[in-house]
């Protein structure tokens, strides 16, 4: 599964995830991008929030992970 978004600067950001196929498991991923405007123009910070939800017949599990990527513009 690959999730992609385009920045206003024309940069493509891509997140690749591999979900193993198991019976009765549904996986849903959402990728949200936020810009931190407190940094100067030469240091842009993009914060990605990855939410992975695994749902089985007997339980619901949700994992939230945040990743920060610092890029020089």
Tens digits of per-residue pLDDT, 4-20?
666 666 666 655 554 55
**Every domain of the chain and the residues it spans:** 2-72
Strand-pair partners of 70: 45
Which stretches of the chain drop beneath a pLDDT of 70?
A: 1-73
Tell me the whole-structure pTM to 2 decimals: 0.20
């Amino acid at each position: 599964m690959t999730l992609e978004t385009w920045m206003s600067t024309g940069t493509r950001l891509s997140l690749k995830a591999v979900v193993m196929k198991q019976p009765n498991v549904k996986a849903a991923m959402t990728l949200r991008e936020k810009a931190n405007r407190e940094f100067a123009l030469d240091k842009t910070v993009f914060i990605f929030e990855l939410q992975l939800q695994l749902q089985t017949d007997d339980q619901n599990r949700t994992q939230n992970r945040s990743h920060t990527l610092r890029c020089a513009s």
